[in-house]
Structure 1
């Protein structure tokens, strides 16, 4: 017998509804989070180049922000406060409004695999932008978790003496740098995939700009 998930994917594409897709607070916090994450990533690359974790691997200066170590640190810390406070506001409003549960849950490995294959074969519908498919749900939940790891590992590096337990949970100062680098790399990969998906479904960009 076909599962309800399978049946929903074989049904005719839903007709997009009129009205607001993303409320103002979602759009504002989304763009502020995006700005903060990009600023932190680019300035972080300059900081990394000052003391590379992996010998022989550095980022091209043209792709970094800050111009020098001191300048990069200033950009990094400024963007950090924006990311933390705006990120907390985003999560709080999503949870308080019930949007988090409505948009991102439930999600299962089977559903993610199903929709991932459908996306690769061009059979995944984007008719109603209000409804996130399983791949989108997984990606957004993943990047939220990744940003939390980025903040915590960054804190373990920045305030290593003040937060010894956090430092040890990361495996020590040097391992915290590796965790931070890996989390940054995953965020960069998410941004790249996200931009590709926006290019494929440009209506999603318009919805995040104007709300509908």
Structure 2
């Protein structure tokens, strides 16, 4: 796997990235605790991996899984996610980051890169996004929009009644919210796996720059 090149990230991208990462961790952990109070599917998440008050106290009370605290955490994470997402989108449009790095995206290019990835032959050059990465990034951005909008429909079902109708009712909004969470968590797992394979990308997201330009003439003097 080639990693030649330079990876750079401007400070608004890094600030939005880490803020969204923190917000998503808060929202997933607290959301799982809220979900446990009224599950959609016949299972509950272990309290130890949820966020919403003292786990031992919640277990001792049985009927009170710390939902009130989880909701407070969830709202805090929601506002942080919205602010970071808006920062990322506005900067991406104004600076040309989206146009330069996330386009073009075509089905033929995606199929080619996806097939190469399945055979572990997909090259990666720092500073360049392959088509698989572009599609995944657009996908997770869309999932974030869905999770925010469906969350608003759940939070204020009367005031945002048209949104509730859009999702097929309150329960429909809950299901869509849950599915969007699964997409985001799945993206995080893949994202972390790719970072483990190319750790220099993490350096760039922390410091703003990583790598060095590819040598001219294939490295020949």
Q: TM-score, length-normalised on structure 1?
A: 0.89
Q: What secondary structure does 1:66 align onto?
A: coil
Alignment of 1:73-152 (within 5 A): 73-126=71-124, 128-152=125-149
State the structure with more CA Rg: 2
The one-character-per-residue Cα deviations of 1:33-78 (angstroms, maximum 9, x if unpaired) are 1110111011000000011111x21111111001310110010000
The one-character-per-residue Cα deviations of 1:84-124 (angstroms, maximum 9, x if unpaired) are 11111110011011111111111112211211121222222
Distance 1:117 1:205 in 2: 25
Specify every segment of 5 or more residues in structure 1 that has no aligned partner in the other structure, as ranges.
1-12
Structure 1's consecutive aligned runs of 4 or more residues displaced over 4 angstroms after TM superposition are: none
Q: Are residues 1:60 and 2:46 paired? A: yes
Question: Please, which moves more after superposition, 113-122 or 132-141?
Answer: 113-122
Q: Which residue of 2 aligns with 1:48?
A: 35
Q: Which residue of 2 aligns with 1:31?
A: 18
Distance 1:146 1:45 in 2: 17
Q: What is the number of residues matched between the two proteins?
A: 197
Question: Please, which moves more after superposition, 134-143 or 107-116?
Answer: 107-116
Distance 1:142 1:203 in 2: 23
Q: TM-score, length-normalised on structure 2?
A: 0.86
The one-character-per-residue Cα deviations of 1:129-162 (angstroms, maximum 9, x if unpaired) are 2110001000100000000000000000000000
Shift of 1:203: 1.0
